[in-house]
Amino acid sequence: MTAHPEIKADQTLDCKGLACPMPIVKTKKAMDQLQSGQVIEVQATDKGSLADIQGWAKNTGHQYLGTIQDGDVLRHFIRKSSADEIKEEKKYPHTVTNEELEKKLGNVTVLDVREPAEYAFNRIPGAVSIPLGELEERLGELNPDDDIHVVCRTGTRSDLACQLLAEKGFKNVKNVEPGMSGWSGPTEKNFQI
Amino acid sequence: MSTKVAIIASNGGLFDAYKVFNIATASAATDAEVAIFFTFEGLNLIHKQAHHQLPLPAGKEHFAEGFKNANIPSIPELVNMAQEMGVKIIACQMTMDVMNLKKEDFIEGIEVGGAVTFLDFAKDANVSLTF
């Protein structure tokens, strides 16, 4: 019945039929229970929630991924951020900048290790999606001899992914810094609102 | 770092209550520190009995149905939510003296203070509102 393929979220919050400020209040409460990095889908019929959710995310520091519309229902996707996400120390030594990757597009494999919802709303064209949490069990989908450039939002998750790949015998792996948060090259997405 | 929102509630109708508590709960849900100073007729909004049956403005009584249809939470529900999220509620001592009201006449969990109690909070607020 839905016109869109499913986007995976860790939690779905039903705010259908609720008026302002309830969708925001309920989102805040639900978000408090989530762990950093998890994605919530907020379903609302309040038309004001489209602007409100974005303003809320901006002010609370959480990452607004996007909204898709199914009939009267607005489906907002937000990822919970953590303060240490940008402070964590990076360990994998081989990095390239966004600009360097942009020049090599088409000649390298771009591996996007963000959550599926982040990937769905904004990604580098042709990027392969394997979330960091699934990488180890899905290594078979990658070729250890390929030139693999790993990307996430800020370079933290991709750093961990690079370390894992190197450990597993992948020879040509580069971490893209900073990643999608600073990406100005071509992008594609699944949805248009 | 966190945003501070200082609100003065000085009117006692149902519309006034929604203006005050919608902004307050939305702010608190957005991680702002919120205090509301209830003064003069604004005290109705936190009065134990009165806040259950706040009047609509004369001639606007038909909006009661609109509130119901739009599934708007009741004022007591909003007040509860606001308090749960840490909104500070300050009742004006001077008005209470004038109207002969005691702290026990109001909902649980409020503070009673004078103008300076509010000013002390509001002096470095990022947003100040009067309703």
In whole angstroms, give the CA distance from residue A16 to residue A26: 11
Is position A20 annotated as part of the catalytic site?
A: yes
* Mean pLDDT value of segment B45-69: 93
Residue B66: C-alpha distances to residues A128, A161, B59, B76 (Å):
50, 53, 14, 18
Under 8 Å between Cβ of A149 and A109: yes
In whole angstroms, give the CA distance from residue A26 to residue A11: 13
Cβ-Cβ contacts under 8 Å, A25 against chain B: 25-26, 29, 81, 85
Q: What are the b/e assignments for B91-124, b being 16+ CB within 10 Å? A: bbbebbeeeebeeebbbeebebbeeebbeebbee
Q: For the sheet containing B4-9, what is the strand order?
A: B111-113, B88-92, B33-38, B4-9, B127-130
* pLDDT tens-digit readout, A44-97: 999 889 989 998 998 888 999 999 999 999 999 999 987 655 445 668 999 999
Question: E strand or H helix at A98, and its extent?
Answer: helix A98-104
In chain A, the N- to C-terminal Cα span, in Å, equals 18
* pLDDT tens-digit readout, A153-183: 999 899 999 999 999 999 999 999 999 999 9
Instruction: Report phi then psi at A62, rounded to 5.
Output: -80, 165
In chain B, the N- to C-terminal Cα span, in Å, equals 26
For residue A45, with 0-12 CB atoms within 10 Å meaning exposed, 13-18 middle and 19 or more buried, which class applies? Answer: middle
Alpha helices in chain B (DSSP H): 14-29, 63-69, 75-84, 93-99, 115-122
Query: Does the bond joining A178 to the residue before it have cis omega, within 30 degrees of 0?
Result: yes
Q: Which of A21, A27, A60 sits opposite B22 (nearest CB)?
A: A21
B87 confidence band (pLDDT: 50, 70, 90): very high
Residue B29 C-alpha, separation from nearest chain A C-alpha, in angstroms: 5
Q: Which of B30, B31, B71 sits opposite A17 (nearest CB)?
A: B71
Residue A91 confidence (pLDDT): 83
* Mean pLDDT value of segment B56-80: 92
Q: Is B77 on the interface with A (CB under 8 A)?
A: no
Cβ-Cβ contacts under 8 Å, B3 against chain A: 59
Residue A63: C-alpha distances to residues A56, A59, A140 (Å):
10, 10, 30
A193 confidence band (pLDDT: 50, 70, 90): low
Torsion of CA A130, A98, A64, A6, to 10 degrees: -30
Number of alpha carbons in the 13 Å side-chain half-sphere of residue A52: 25
Residue A83 confidence (pLDDT): 63
Beta strands in A16-140 (DSSP E): 39-44, 63-70, 73-79, 95-97, 109-112, 128-129
Question: E strand or H helix at B37, and its extent?
Answer: strand B33-38
Closest residue in B to A28 (Cα) is: B29
A5 confidence band (pLDDT: 50, 70, 90): low
| Dihedral sign (CA A87, A91, A92, A94) | positive
